């Protein structure tokens, strides 16, 4: 066979194999393409990779009956417990922002990109130690911030705020910063 034909057939088989690998995970993304665990190290990385990427255990809580983890609830629970024992915190794929809900309309609308963002302020702003404040002239600000007391809060100035965990605070702040960045607004 000619070398070009052999190369073509080899590449074709690799592509078919990659497609099969994509179809084998419940969320359609092989672990090599997922990044939720990239900040973890050592055993924490291994447990996170197994739970969030290989077994897709977080799909059990996504509210979609058409997606299920590729492992039993017992296996997922064991890996979650090992991650929590190693790190003292929740898995990154299970952290959510409790303010990205209809109860906090300005927060949700900012994250969804439903109105222009003109202002993005990061710490230390408005007496916060960490976090972010986002808004514009006509809409109230949304925030995810850690105050001097150490407590994190999220919400908006229409609906108020609620206390949240530090992991939720970081996640909520990341959502707001991504919303600002998507509109080419620099956070100062």
Whole-number pLDDT of residue 36 = 72
CB-based burial of residue 183 (10 Å sphere; 0-12 exposed, 13-18 middle, 19+ buried)?
middle
Q: Cα–Cα distance between 124 and 104 in angstroms, integer? A: 23
DSSP structure class, residue 65: T
Whole-number pLDDT of residue 142 = 81
Whole-number pLDDT of residue 129 = 76
Whole-number pLDDT of residue 20 = 41
Would the pTM of this model clear 0.85, i.e. be above it?
no
Whole-number pLDDT of residue 28 = 57
Residue 82 has which token pair? 């090992």
Q: Which residues of the chain have pLDDT under 50?
A: 1, 3-23
DSSP structure class, residue 52: I
Whole-number pLDDT of residue 91 = 87
Of 184, 175, 109, 167, the closest CA to residue 140 belongs to: 109
Give CA separation, 158 vs 63, 116, 163, in Å: 28, 17, 16
Q: Cα–Cα distance between 87 and 182 in angstroms, integer? A: 32
Q: How many CB atoms lie within 10 A of CB 82?
A: 16
Q: Cα–Cα distance between 93 and 95 in angstroms, integer? A: 6
Whole-number pLDDT of residue 14 = 40
Q: Cα–Cα distance between 33 and 148 in angstroms, integer? A: 38
């Amino acid at each position: 066979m000619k070398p070009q034909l052999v190369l073509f057939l080899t590449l074709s088989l690799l592509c078919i194999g990659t497609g099969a690998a994509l179809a084998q995970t419940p969320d359609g993304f092989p672990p090599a393409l997922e990044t939720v665990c990239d900040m973890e190290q050592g055993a924490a990385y291994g447990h996170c990779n197994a739970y969030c990427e290989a077994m897709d255990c977080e799909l059990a809580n996504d509210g979609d009956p058409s997606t299920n983890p590729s492992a039993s609830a017992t296996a997922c629970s064991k890996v979650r417990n090992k991650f929590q024992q190693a790190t003292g915190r929740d898995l990154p794929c299970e952290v959510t922002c409790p303010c990205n809900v209809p109860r906090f309309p300005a927060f949700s609308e900012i994250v969804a990109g439903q109105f222009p963002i003109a202002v993005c302020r990061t710490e230390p702003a408005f007496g916060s130690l960490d976090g972010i404040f986002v808004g514009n002239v006509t809409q109230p600000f949304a925030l995810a911030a850690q105050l001097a007391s150490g407590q994190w809060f999220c919400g908006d100035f229409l609906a108020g705020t609620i206390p949240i965990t530090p992991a939720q605070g970081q996640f909520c702040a990341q959502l707001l910063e991504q919303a600002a960045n998507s509109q080419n607004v620099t956070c100062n």
